[in-house]
Amino acid sequence: MNRRELMLAGPIFAAQSRLGLAQSGSSAKPDGPAETPGTPPTILLNDYLPHSIYQIPVTEVPKAKFRVFDGHNHGHGPLSVTEMLKIMDKVGVEKSVIFTGATTVDRFNEIAHGYADHPDRFDLWCMFDLRGIDETGFGSNAIKSLEECHRAGAKGVGELHDKGRGIFSGQNAVARGSVHTSRPEHGRSQSNLNGGPTFTQDPSPPPPPDAPIGPHPDDPRLDQLWDKAGQLGMPISFHTSDPIWSYLPMDNTNDGLMNGWTWRIVLEPGTYDHDQLVNSLENAVKKHPKTQFIACHLFNLDYNLTRLGEMLDRYPNLYADIAARFAETATIPRFVHRFLSKYSDRIVYGTDVTYNEPFFATTFRILETEDEHFYMRGKVETANFNFNYHWALNGFGLPDEVLRKIYYDNMAAIMARAEQNRES
Ligand SMILES: [Zn+2]
């Protein structure tokens, strides 16, 4: 079942509205069911797209207050590299990590060629080559591929994913079936309420029903690869699990229901649930202290940043990026302000989407301003910031010293620290 079919097969959630309309007993809604006089109208949640009516300050932030090092991007996509650079210059992005998705040096070189004229603007990362993971003696080829990519200029490894069925990457995903869930960074074009964001990669194919489960991050077969990455001075970007609403019951208690439904996770026998996935990555981080790990998307603990904070306290080699989790955190701005201020040395700015100015402006608005209760549906042509969440966004109003670190310094520090730990 592809994404479109999933959407079409989606549930119809109805909500009872308490609008003034109800008081009048009007049945004016043109395409809805006829109203019984005196009862409120029925509105499908799919149709519910509120607009903020508050007459409060709106701050436009087209350019970041400080220079930016984007720690999470998948490439220029439909843009040319020149067009991408033009946007970067305009919005204040000095440097970007590009996840090439390459598992072999040949593929890496092919992609790197396009960025070769701008080595100071792009850090290209590679993937692990996990072919033969189930075979005895797995490892030497994977290590060789990693070393070759590193010699060719790969600065880190990622974005690796485990959404329950273990890690697959690049050609492994195609050959063996990828995880059939769902956040935008997997390149599926999201059937959003108002047209979703444009993402860089082609959709991953759904896995065949008998696709084998890949290794989870704490699988001993991967130990040699985590260590090797550390020895080569290559940090790891790892996406584990997904936002919690995708795992919760799809009923009227699910706080992020419509988005949770869009990206819902169907757990099958042998797959890991949210908690197991978080634990598995934590085990790898703990076991490999000389390797620097960036847990993508706030470790997918946006709903429980306290747990992420406790791990950041325990493991100095752990960082997290905030890429594609602005909508999930902009609903609790004061808590997030405190969290980001406390862990200001450990959080990295990231985008995860094809570059476009409105997207950047919205992330800057959330990080820098105290604007409240705004929606970014439809207003942002190529980045529907609210995704399918019904809640409004609010700014964190972070102080300058925190912004400087999150925007740039932390990513630079991770690279420097990985380099320091490198074994020549
Ligand atoms: Zn990503």
- 160 alpha carbon to ligand 1 midpoint, in Å? 9
In whole angstroms, how large is the CA radius of gyration of the chain?
Answer: 22
Taking alpha carbons only, the member of 279, 284, 289 closest to residue 310 is 279
CA–CA separation, 386 and 391 (whole Å): 8
Q: How far is the CA of 172 from the centre of ligand 1 (A)?
A: 17
pLDDT at position 32: 52
Which residue ranges form the domains of the chain, and what is each CATH number? Answer: 1-48 (no CATH), 54-420 (3.20.20.140)
The CA 279 to ligand 1 mean position distance, Å, reads 20
Using the mean position of ligand 1's atoms as its centre, give its distance from the Cα of residue 183 in Å: 9
Q: Ligand 1 centroid to 401 CA: how many Å?
A: 26
Q: How far is ligand 1, taken at its centre, from the CA of residue 364, in Å?
A: 19
Q: How far is the CA of 393 from the centre of ligand 1 (A)?
A: 21
- pLDDT at residue number 263: 85
* CA 330 to mean position of chain CA atoms: 15
What does the alpha-carbon distance between residue 390 and residue 411 come to, in Å, rounded to a whole number? 32
| 182 CA from centroid of ligand 1 (Å) | 11
CA–centroid distance, 101 to ligand 1, in Å, is 10
Contacts for 63 with CB less than 8 Å, ≥ 6 apart = 90, 91, 92, 364
Instruction: Tell me what pLDDT residue 264 has.
Output: 85
Ligand 1 midpoint to CA 72 (Å):
6
Residue 412 CA, ligand 1 centroid: distance in Å: 19
Q: How far is the CA of 276 from the centre of ligand 1 (A)?
A: 21
Residue 104 CA to its chain's centroid (Å): 24
What are the DSSP calls for 306-323, one per residue? HHHHHHHHH-TTEEEE-T
What would the two tokens of residue 128 be?
A: 């692990």
Q: Which regions in the chain score pLDDT beneath 70?
A: 1-36, 169-211, 378-384, 424
**CA 350–ligand 1 middle distance (angstroms):** 9
Cβ proximity of 316 and 286 under 8 Å: no
Ligand 1 centroid to residue 342 C-alpha, Å: 25
**108 contacts 124 by C-beta, under 8 angstroms:** yes
pTM: 0.84
Going by C-beta distance under 8 Å and a sequence separation of 6 or more, which residues neighbour residue 151? 105
**Which residue shows structure tokens 């082609």?**
202
CA of 383 to the centre of ligand 1 (A): 14
